[in-house]
Amino acid sequence: MFETEIQAKHVESAEEPLQDEVTADFFESMEAETAAFPRPNPIPVPIPRPWPLFQGSRFMIWKQDPTVTTLGRRLLYLPRRILNGPRDARINTVLPGTTPVNRSISGDFIFPPDTPEADCAHTFAVVRETLTLYERKGGGTAIPWAWNRNGNTDVLSVQPRGFNGANAYYSRNAKSLRFGYFRPRNSSQTVYTCRSLDIVAHETGHAILDGLKPGWLGYGNPPQTGGLHESFGDLTAIFLALSQLDQVEAVIALSRANLHNRNFLKRLAEQFGQSLGRSEGLRNADNDLKLSQVSNEVHAISKVFTGGIYDVLADIFNYERHRQRDTAGPARVLLEVSRQLSDLLLDALIQAPDTGATYADVVNRMLQISHANGEPAIYRTFIRNRFTYREVVVSPTPLTAMTQGQIDLDNPDFVEGEDLMELETAFPDHPSLVATQDRSGCCGTMQSPEYLQDQKVLDANLARLSKPGVVLDEESLLEDEMKHLAKSFK
């Protein structure tokens, strides 16, 4: 009975409309009570933080090398999980007696200059940044090392002080990058090649290209294929520098936004070059060399291709700077132009033949990919003109507009003649296409005896390297000869 009355009253009250006067009286009484007995201050609510929170470490690196005081050492942040070593899933650092180098409590690798720990941190960071530069092209898809086949995940071993000598090299057999150190004649100071961003990026470029094109390091390829390897290393150093806004801004300021003016970008490995008596560094990317002006040595030939790409970079930057003069600053334009050109070059290299690739092969792929990507026709005009001038391909028309400074930068569709996507090789019988490779002036990678073997031997070695944990020491290079001797001595 009692429960029934309560339910009935509940139903009745629910059906009665709430009067405005009653509501007003209720809230007035509540306000009076609140004023008489004020509540304590509310607990402060923390300001929301960005989400997700990325893991990462900071490094101090030489932005060029110790002699380029304009940039010096600067702080770099790598937004990824990096363990003591430094190491991650793709790269490990090895320096006996020093590694693993431990992170600070905040996860950073920051050490005083001129210490082995600082060399380890710098070298790892530059290798990682170089690999990331190209992996971003594929949306972060991992680029394999040459031995990463059939499920193999072996890392690249980086040795900052790998040997006593004036060189550096990538070794497929040892799955490593090794950087030398030496004391120049009449000097009391040791030069560590690992402290040069250019040298580290160059050798990492060899490792990356070997992963993409394992048939290109063989000695049996024409010299131009070797030239593409050496050139890719140099261009990788340039593109890496131009992927960092502080370096881009420095280049713009020093050159007055003209890449052909004096600047550190086009001079590669300044400290190393100066130790050899070369004031402009080990190489100068801003050159006017043609195939007819260089020897058949692979390193000399590489300068022709490097110079052509550097010119195209400067041309496209000049055009885009003019086009975006009212909407973007020159540093922002150069940053974007460099990224776009490095992507184009990487795609062209990937699409080039797996063996025996030539400069014309890559140039034609660049033209075709540029067109397919919907880039302005004037981009392809720059590519055709620069590599025609360097005697790599044949232009359908004379280079009148380029040589007389009459290219219309207000016209994105500017072409001389037709917008052709396939050009003929300028000199099919040129020694760089038909002669045996001469690697006498190359970096340690191209001079390594491990690549001076028949392609079948290289392929067999690579198959062995694809087994986890396998490395091939120098003794393996004599394996076939020793087997032959064993038969002869019976």
Instruction: Count the neighbouring beta carbons within 10 Å of the beta carbon of residue 176.
Output: 19
How large a percentage of the chain has pLDDT more than 90?
74
Query: Is 470 within a domain?
Result: no
Flag whether the pTM goes above 0.85: yes
State yes or no: pLDDT of 273 exceeds 90: no
For 157-203, what is each residue's pLDDT tens digit?
999 999 999 999 999 999 999 999 999 988 889 999 999 999 999 99
Identify the residue with better confidence: 19 or 327. Answer: 327
Query: Is 240 within a domain?
Result: no
CB burial of residue 152 (10 Å; 0-12, 13-18, 19+): middle
Chain centroid, CA 154 distance in Å? 20
For 194-216, what is each residue's pLDDT tens digit?
999 999 999 999 999 999 999 99
Rounded CA-CA distance 350/104 in Å is: 40
Query: Is 333 within a domain?
Result: yes
Query: Is 131 within a domain?
Result: no
Query: Is 460 within a domain?
Result: no
Query: Is 226 within a domain?
Result: no
Could you tell me the two tokens for 113? 């200059």
DSSP code per residue over 107-159:
S-B---TTSHHHHHHHHHHHHHHHHHHHHGGGTTPPPPPTT--TT--PPEEEE
pLDDT at 15: 42
CB distance 75 to 207 below 8 Å: no
Helix (H), strand (E) at residue 161: strand 156-164
For 104-157, what is each residue's pLDDT tens digit?
999 999 999 999 999 999 999 999 999 999 999 889 899 999 999 999 999 999
Could you tell me the two tokens for 91? 């790269």
Rounded CA-CA distance 118/109 in Å is: 8
What is the sign, positive or negative, of the torsion defined by CA atoms of 63, 178, 220, 464?
negative
What is the sign, positive or negative, of the torsion defined by CA atoms of 297, 298, 303, 309?
positive
Burial 419-431, CB ≥16 within 10 A → b, else e: bbbebebbeeebb
Helix (H), strand (E) at residue 281: none
pLDDT at 1: 40
Q: What is the mean pLDDT of the chain?
A: 89
Q: Are strands 156-164 and 91-93 parallel, antiparallel or unpaired?
A: parallel
pLDDT at 9: 39
Q: Which of 249, 39, 147, 83 is nearest to 458 (CA)?
A: 147
116 upstream amide cis, omega within 30 of 0: no
For 71-96, what is each residue's pLDDT tens digit?
999 999 999 999 999 999 999 999 99
Instruction: Count the neighbouring beta carbons within 10 Å of the beta carbon of residue 389.
Output: 18
52 upstream amide cis, omega within 30 of 0: yes
Number of domains forming the structure of the chain? 1
Rounded CA-CA distance 111/122 in Å is: 10
What are the backbone angles phi and psi of residue 227, rounded to the nearest 5°?
A: -65, -35
Query: Is 306 within a domain?
Result: yes
Query: Is 170 within a domain?
Result: no
Query: ∠ CA(17), CA(19), CA(20), 5° rounding?
Result: 135
Q: Which of 179, 193, 157 is nearest to 85 (CA)?
A: 157
Tokens 């900052």 found at: 160
Radius of gyration over every alpha carbon of the chain, rounded to an integer in angstroms: 31
Query: Range of 393's domain?
Result: 251-434
